A = this chain, B = another copy of it.
């Protein structure tokens, strides 16, 4: 349970799942689609998602090789609950920012 949510809560994992929700992407396309992710973290996060069966990897034996990543059926099922959470974050970010400002103001006294 904990380690399942650990991945869900991972910054890059959620971003990658969101991007792959629209359509399959190649490695380099993901690199461009997710600003600030390093090649290293992209590889590692994709491996984790693949290991968990949320993403699948297809290699096209062209030269140079192309690799496409797509959501699996299982991976698609997480989009709804994940979307619920992102919607909450969207609804609440104003309130959260306000709370942070209040808190920080009081801390600095």
Copies held by the complex: 2
Decide yes or no whether A109 CB sits under 8 A from chain B: no
Interface size on A, residues (CB 8 A): 40
Residues in chain B near residue A6, CB distance under 8 A: 9, 11
Offer 5 A-B interface pairs, CB within 8 angstroms, sorted by A: A4-B96, A8-B85, A53-B103, A74-B96, A81-B88
Residues in chain B near residue A85, CB distance under 8 A: 5, 8, 81-82, 84-85
Q: Quick check: A10 and B9 within 8 Å, CB to CB?
A: yes
Which of B8, B15, B87 sits near A89, CB closer than 8 Å? B8
Task: Name A78's closest neighbour in chain B (CB-CB).
Answer: B88
Residues in chain B near residue A93, CB distance under 8 A: 1, 4
